[in-house]
Amino acid sequence: MSKRYYLTTPIYYVNDIPHIGTSYTTVAADILARFHRMRGEEVLFATGTDENAPKVAQAATARGLEPLPFVDGMAERFQQAWAQLNVEYDVFIRTTEPRHARAVQAFFATLQERGDIYQGPYEGWYCMSCETFFTEEEAPEQNGERRCPNEPLHAPLKLVRETNYFFALSRYGDRLREHIEAHPEFLQPEFRRNEVLQFIQQGLRDVCITRGAAGWGVSAPGDPSQVVYVWFDALINYLTLVGYPDDAEMLAKWWPADLHLVGKDIYVRFHCTLWPAMLMAAGLPLPKQVLGHGFWMSEGRKMSKTIGNIIEPLRLAEWLAELSGARGEIAVDAVRYFLFREMPFGEDGNFARQSLLQRFNSDLANDLGNALNRSLSLALQNFGGVVPPPTDAETRLRDLGRETHVRLTGLLERVDFQGALAAAWEYVAAINKYLDDRAPWALAKQGKTEELGGVLYHALEAVRLVSLWVYPYMPRAAAEIQRQLGLETRLGEEPWTWQDEPAWGYLEPGAKLEAPSPIFPRIERKTMQEALKNIDQPAAAPSPDASPAAATPAFPPAPAAAVGADPGPADAEDTTITIDDFAKVELRVAEVLSAERVPKADKLLHLRVSLGDEERTVLAGMAEYYEPEALVGRKVIMVANLAPRKMRGLLSQGMLLAAEAGGVVSLLQPDQDLPAGARIR
């Protein structure tokens, strides 16, 4: 029996079209689904739309439509968008389907029978925008009103007083904490797991799970005056998908889910607290893992329809195709590549079109494109456009390919999308270096045909191996690579098998190769500059003339004495340092214990960090790039012997290190779990 793998995205509100945030989660799931299918596993990849929310009905009314025709059209648009983004899901669930209504009512009734749902009066502050209730402590009154703490524009809250049904969430705090602590893999990444434990530690309250019937949604069983709260309804979709409550055999086959992929905004409160408690109450196993990823930011803020700073990935791909001349489906793959190459999955990232174009040119056109085009061109010129014969002497790329394959497999198993791509591109760099070192063009001039054939065979075979690795990320581009390698008739079969150890020597000597054609046409510098001229870049993106301090805002601001100083020409002073100079800098691993914004300072965060044997406070200019809560629990690199300095009345006792490119800022951190205080050598 083959191994099974069930993964889900959240189901998406249909009050507007898909954007880069929803696409990020869905493409991530598609990458994992393709990877597991390549390993011969039976995969169930599910996504869908959440259609029972009151704000969806509001969106329909605003367009002059009844809710059902509106959600029918929007669900179709989501399905079309996923197809255009090269996403191949197995099941698309809609919460307006009769099977889901049955599942919700059956689940509700089960919890009622077990005594975990009861009726009572409710009074609370409700946000229509994010469909969430808040306590007075969570949303304190300001200027005579209460506003949502989640929403970018802090939508006003409405006081709701009703007689509703409640789920006894408070009964499950201890069991949840025990499960999380006993299964460290359950909630990932670790720093988000810590957020969940902190949330539970504050004390869980019973949750109102119905509202007075408003004519849209799933009715509470036995009480048509009540409609099930959208979040209680929506979470049950993961069970509906696998046959609950009608198909016990299918449920036993697929549940528990292997992985729920969700954004950080619905991670702590809903998927890691409410949902597992609901499952415990129903006597069902918990999912094996819930992974919460960060947000793509625009101008340092979460992308939001409310703010109006949404980026639509399909329009982005159209723009890229127009600039580069790449086929539309290839441009889509390039956007997919960029999203998972640019920032670690789980953290926030700042979107910049300049970075997308740079990645397209450097990684795809220059690195991967050159490795393929050079090898194919030389085979065409010297071997009549067929695969040349290999030699036993050329083993460098084969051996490195096997090592990289094992490494890549482990990284994808750990859902490290960025790390896997980085490993693949190290190998792409090795292919290009191999070609430079072996200089096949020189071998051709010298008439060393046998040696030339061996070099080209191994380079072509190495590129084929890369096409296997990038297929989950860029399926159409990978298919085009294999087509040019003469493997088109076998696509979907053996070329896409992800074995424990990659087969080497798959290309057959004498088989016909296609003429090289650039898959990723390089964008000319002038074209790039013109395209970016009229595009609003994130405010955090430094200008080309920005100083090093401005280009690395995770550092504290420069001392006052340096402000306005004329550094002179860039080459006026030798900045070379000796090893003794460098030895004076004490770099250590620090763990962020707490983080908060500095009042009236748009760029500063006030951090409390641990160095193992002591705690310090640090002011870091990265509020435009990281939400404070996303930093808690994270291990970072810190200059520990920097002279303390006061800013805005607060003491900063160190400096965090970060890298910056194209307006994207990323904190440096160790790639293994080192203790706080560990020294950097």
Work out whether strand 259-263 and strand 4-8 pair parallel, antiparallel, or are unpaired.
Answer: parallel
Written as six digits, the tokens of 584 are 């004076």
Most confident of 31-35, 69-73, 224-228: 31-35
| pLDDT for the residue numbered 7 | 98
In a domain, 330, yes or no: no
Using a pLDDT cut of 70, give the percent of the chain over it: 88
Q: Are residues 573 and 492 in the same domain?
A: no
Average pLDDT of span 472-487? 94
pLDDT tens-digit readout, 72-86: 999 999 999 999 999
Which of 496, 525, 556 is the endpoint of a domain?
496
Average pLDDT of span 46-66? 88
Q: Are residues 365 and 435 in the same domain?
A: yes
Q: Which of 66-70, 227-231, 611-615 has the lowest mean pLDDT?
A: 611-615
| Res 154 pLDDT > 70 | no
In a domain, 83, yes or no: no
Reported as type and span, the H/E element at residue 340 is helix 328-342
Q: Are residues 369 and 492 in the same domain?
A: yes
Q: Which of 196-200, 545-549, 661-665 has the lowest mean pLDDT?
A: 545-549
Which contacts qualify for 393-400: CB closer than 8 Å, 24 or more apart? 393/451, 393/454, 394/454, 394/455, 394/457, 394/458, 396/430, 396/434, 396/458, 397/430, 397/431, 397/434, 397/458, 397/459, 397/461, 397/462, 398/458, 398/461, 398/462, 398/504, 400/427, 400/430
Q: Domain containing 462: what range?
A: 351-496
In a domain, 346, yes or no: no
Q: Assign residue 159 the CATH number of its domain.
A: 2.170.220.10
In a domain, 318, yes or no: no
In a domain, 514, yes or no: no
| pLDDT for the residue numbered 555 | 28
| pLDDT for the residue numbered 149 | 81
Rounded to whole angstroms, how far apart are CA atoms 156 and 125? 9
Rounded to whole angstroms, how far apart are CA atoms 10 and 16? 16
In a domain, 534, yes or no: no
Written as six digits, the tokens of 399 are 């051996």
Q: Assign residue 606 the CATH number of its domain.
A: 2.40.50.140
Written as six digits, the tokens of 669 are 């951190």
Q: What are the angstrom distances between the C-alpha of 275 and each of 231, 232, 280?
A: 9, 8, 9
pLDDT tens-digit readout, 353-374: 899 999 999 999 999 999 999 9
| Res 214 pLDDT > 70 | no
Q: Are residues 484 and 608 in the same domain?
A: no
Q: Are residues 387 and 488 in the same domain?
A: yes
Q: Assign residue 452 the CATH number of its domain.
A: 1.10.730.10
C-alpha gyration radius of the chain: 27
Q: What are the angstrom distances between the C-alpha of 552 and each of 620, 638, 642, 660, 662?
A: 10, 14, 17, 6, 11
Q: Are residues 554 and 457 in the same domain?
A: no
Q: Are residues 487 and 567 in the same domain?
A: no
In a domain, 115, yes or no: yes
In a domain, 675, yes or no: no
- Per the structure, the count of domains in the chain is 3
CB distance 587 to 639 below 8 Å:
yes
| pLDDT for the residue numbered 662 | 47
CA nearest neighbour of 504 among 537, 463, 558, 561? 463
pLDDT tens-digit readout, 296-315: 877 566 666 656 677 888 99
Work out whether strand 91-94 and strand 158-167 pair parallel, antiparallel, or are unpaired.
Answer: unpaired
| Res 194 pLDDT > 90 | yes
